Structure 1
């Protein structure tokens, strides 16, 4: 190949000149990670690019000496090891040079497992060791394999909760973790290994939770760090599981929160997904948002109310805003976030959420509260009750406490919907094709304002939408109701 090449990751295309642009000055760290993952080796239609892939791997080996640059960080190193091995096992003779480089990369990784980060990073490290141990032969490879298997056994029990949720509570990272597990089952079967029973037992539970966290359009809901396009879809994962003979268990109409704290309720054409969860593991809230008691709503397979999504990990105002309470369908007090998110992946003070009622699938009833504003004067507490029927959704909010406070209520609409004020306490919401119309009734105790906003469905992508913001400034306690009605 020539010295120039175009690469597109995260909706950002760059013309690179190698070797210097393996570190691509000006690119985000996540973009560089994607460059070094080599995920295109396993993409649909990748066989047509086999010669180019071979050249690119040879260039990487020649131009990325050990210990130099982003490509040798443990996380991209882990993903690349797996992708190179998948490519080699898919009928592509790796050759001595690639095998030697792979072995060097595995040795380097083994000494730098990400115990300081834990979570999905450490699981990816362990997966890479298992893949390498299965691919190579000899005592050293057996050591890699044994170490990886011990780690997987420990981490799987820790990271998958009783209801099947990945413990970082991001639907996007959950889908990636489920793909990791299916990959492990796949390589185990391909290499004649006795696949551990808990791997096959865990996968259906993870499918249960992922299904509960998907809208009828098949895409994930946006809670914590979540975006479309980075993780495989539920449909893609089901096909993969079917190829492996792994069962997929469907959950009933209501998803009990159990360990994770997320709830799905369905009534007729309506699907509601609510966050009654903690922000994440106590020691690892890196992908958490200040989204306590937020929710998303679909009608007739169309997203209506949406959290704002995630489009960036680099620190700055946009990252802060996307993690903040105002980017989600919930309440904010005194301009403060319900959990103190800061920097790219940090959380200080955290809301503690309590499920108080339901979910009751017969009555469509759910109630929860959180104490994320306990530090404010008057020790405010937000309590929210959802009641979902065949043709309406009622949301009852109460803010307990004392003293004078500002309370804001945010409702973010998917870009495919327009919102028009009909009266001071009534709005008409219409789909882009005018096929669906519903009425939104609000409480006049709050002033209500239609505002231009942004929805971030993918990394690097921004779509204009509207939000409705309620604003109250006065004394607590405060109670108000919001009602959406439609034709069932």
Structure 2
């Protein structure tokens, strides 16, 4: 036990030191005296072509920008004739969206001369104000997104532009590519580092006369794809939403290699082939992704665009052992469960303490959910949304199965990674009586409460019944101490469309569905209560909902059986 504690502390110390060094290096590179402006990337004579932007745009937003209304990340700013880059940003998220220039796609969607002129004027303002020196704009991931956007939207920006603006645009773009090339080894692990590699690869393909840059970018991209895209197609951070975001960049990048008559790296093609089936793995019957490890509202339009490139439209995978998820499906009923350990520390800043949580849906009705993450205001809700209590699983003594960095200094230095959590996970899957059976256990509470949680699911062949069981056992020893800390709460968060009503017996809850395909929840040996809950990943922001809760003490009731049943299957 002591050896594990010291090992965790040593691992965390190395991570903090590495994070500090990366931040210091990135800060130094961002300074004007650092030689990243050297001609490591030459100014191209022209842009060869523009990548296709798969992210859909809204033409009505273009008219809002023209009138000086900039709405990003849940905040609205009225510029009153001033440049948006001169305005004090209302939030960090707002500033990041502004500086990434992703909003240019809305002007492209408008397709009018006014939208093109406004886009060119706003980019010109940013260049004139030396926007690449602004603090938020220097964030490597934001700079990478800006480079990708400027390349994809270059026809919008440069159409009807004079020669002088064209030269300024190309020089500024090259300057940002040089910065990314120099800072890329020092970027935080995970999505930021992969985005930088993607931006450099796009630049090497789209900018003329860049063979050295392309070779460098391809090496970086292959390294990151091999490391971050797991064998089953999941992302190493375990966030399902990143699959959509990464594919929205990988698919156009594959097209760019074809446009240059170059063979794409095998790692790129293999990553796309592995990730596509995982999109279907995480989807419920209504098309929405399951809410695990940082997943927010599903961008339906983006997902539909990516799925249009999926050539193999067969049955989704049922087992994703490298990503740490399981899927059970029968008769239109879908269960998706988190059966994985926390991701590596460097990739865990968005990870949740949702071990053995699950989501359940029937047809287009989602029944059991996790609370997820909101699309905006993530920093405000992050600490709450990541707790075990925000997931449909078990909490012990109102404590999460993972611990996160909460100290102010450490948080500023390295974010909010998981610093302690389950170390062992056992998963067993099989079949009994024609039904799919899944059993898993974790030791996330062993160190603090000497308790191991085991959960089992059995889905009937017709999908009309899900039997579950939560079992608690001593991690070290044979019996629970009578005075031990072993109070538990088993939570089942319900989708807002579900209307629960408690039966008179106290063990059963009727779950009314919008389409009349009602279900029932029952726990024959336990008392079930209905409590308030919240879903953060609602399309319109956080939204009130309800949850079913069973409480007890492990030394008194170490075994709790429960079931979800389709009501129409019970009728004669």
Q: Scaled by the length of structure 1, what TM-score is found?
A: 0.90
- How many residues in Structure 1 have an aligned counterpart in Structure 2? 476
Supply the distance in 1 between the matched residues of 2:182 and 2:299 (Cα, whole angstroms): 28
SS class of match (1:400):
strand
Deviation at residue 8 of structure 1 after TM alignment:
2.1
1:453 and 2:494 matched: no
Partner of residue 196, structure 1: 265
Task: Return closer, same or farther for 1:150/1:253 CA change in 2, 3 Å cut-off.
Answer: closer
Partner of residue 391, structure 1: 464
Partner of residue 195, structure 2: 124
Please say if residues 279 and 288 of structure 1, whose CA atoms lie closer than 8 Å, have aligned partners that are also in contact: yes
Supply the distance in 2 between the matched residues of 1:218 and 1:188 (Cα, whole angstroms): 31
Partner of residue 13, structure 1: 76
SS class of match (1:131):
helix
Counterparts of 1:408-423 in structure 2, within 5 Å, are 408-423=489-504
Task: Return closer, same or farther for 1:374/1:17 CA change in 2, 3 Å cut-off.
Answer: farther
Supply the distance in 1 between the matched residues of 2:181 and 2:466 (Cα, whole angstroms): 52
Task: Return closer, same or farther for 1:112/1:19 CA change in 2, 3 Å cut-off.
Answer: farther
Supply the distance in 2 between the matched residues of 1:191 and 1:85 (Cα, whole angstroms): 15
Counterparts of 1:3-152 in structure 2, within 5 Å, are 5-16=68-79, 21-22=84-85, 25=88, 27-43=90-106, 45-48=109-112, 49-88=115-154, 92-93=158-159, 95-113=166-184, 115-138=186-209, 141-152=210-221
1:305 and 2:368 matched: yes
Q: What is the CA deviation profile of residues 228-276 of structure 1, one whole-angstrom value per residue up to 9, with x for unaligned ones?
A: 256864321022x2xxxxx533453551123112111111020111110
Give the number of the structure whose residues are more often helix, by fraction. Answer: 2
Supply the distance in 2 between the matched residues of 1:91 and 1:80 (Cα, whole angstroms): 13
Partner of residue 404, structure 2: 341
Give the number of the structure whose residues are more often strand, by fraction. Answer: 1
1:367 and 2:439 matched: yes
Please say if residues 254 and 266 of structure 1, whose CA atoms lie closer than 8 Å, have aligned partners that are also in contact: no
Please say if residues 256 and 359 of structure 1, whose CA atoms lie closer than 8 Å, have aligned partners that are also in contact: no
Partner of residue 558, structure 2: 478
Deviation at residue 125 of structure 1 after TM alignment:
0.4
RMSD after superposition: 2.6
SS class of match (1:470):
strand
Partner of residue 512, structure 2: 430
SS class of match (2:256):
helix
Which deviates more from structure 2 when the two are superposed, residues 465-474 or residues 324-333? 465-474
1:260 and 2:329 matched: no
Which deviates more from structure 2 when the two are superposed, residues 293-302 or residues 129-138? 129-138
Please say if residues 177 and 200 of structure 2, whose CA atoms lie closer than 8 Å, have aligned partners that are also in contact: yes
SS class of match (2:77):
strand
Please say if residues 204 and 249 of structure 1, whose CA atoms lie closer than 8 Å, have aligned partners that are also in contact: no
Supply the distance in 1 between the matched residues of 2:87 and 2:405 (Cα, whole angstroms): 27
SS class of match (2:177):
helix
Task: Return closer, same or farther for 1:16/1:370 CA change in 2, 3 Å cut-off.
Answer: farther
Residue 542 (structure 2) aligned to one of 459, 462, 471: 462
Q: What is the CA deviation profile of residues 305-352 of structure 1, one whole-angstrom value per residue up to 9, with x for unaligned ones?
A: 110010256545x32110000000000001110111344632111113
1:213 and 2:282 matched: yes
Supply the distance in 2 between the matched residues of 1:167 and 1:464 (Cα, whole angstroms): 31
Please say if residues 3 and 17 of structure 1, whose CA atoms lie closer than 8 Å, have aligned partners that are also in contact: no
Deviation at residue 392 of structure 1 after TM alignment:
0.8
Task: Return closer, same or farther for 1:229/1:98 CA change in 2, 3 Å cut-off.
Answer: farther
Please say if residues 438 and 456 of structure 2, whose CA atoms lie closer than 8 Å, have aligned partners that are also in contact: yes
SS class of match (2:537):
strand
Larger Rg: 2
Deviation at residue 119 of structure 1 after TM alignment:
0.9
Deviation at residue 183 of structure 1 after TM alignment:
2.4
1:381 and 2:461 matched: no
Please say if residues 74 and 114 of structure 1, whose CA atoms lie closer than 8 Å, have aligned partners that are also in contact: no
Which deviates more from structure 2 when the two are superposed, residues 46-55 or residues 303-312? 46-55
Supply the distance in 1 between the matched residues of 2:340 and 2:451 (Cα, whole angstroms): 19
Supply the distance in 2 between the matched residues of 1:181 and 1:39 (Cα, whole angstroms): 17
Supply the distance in 1 between the matched residues of 2:76 and 2:430 (Cα, whole angstroms): 45
Q: Which runs of 5+ in 1 are unaligned?
A: 242-246
Partner of residue 324, structure 1: 387
- Following TM superposition, where does structure 1 have runs of at least 4 consecutive aligned residues deviating by more than 6 angstroms? 1-4
Q: Which runs of 5+ in 2 are unaligned?
A: 1-62, 407-414, 475-479
Task: Return closer, same or farther for 1:3/1:206 CA change in 2, 3 Å cut-off.
Answer: closer
Counterparts of 1:221-260 in structure 2, within 5 Å, are 221-228=290-297, 233-239=302-308, 241=309, 248-250=311-313, 252=315, 254-260=317-323
Please say if residues 176 and 231 of structure 1, whose CA atoms lie closer than 8 Å, have aligned partners that are also in contact: no
Q: Scaled by the length of structure 2, what TM-score is found?
A: 0.78
SS class of match (2:172):
helix
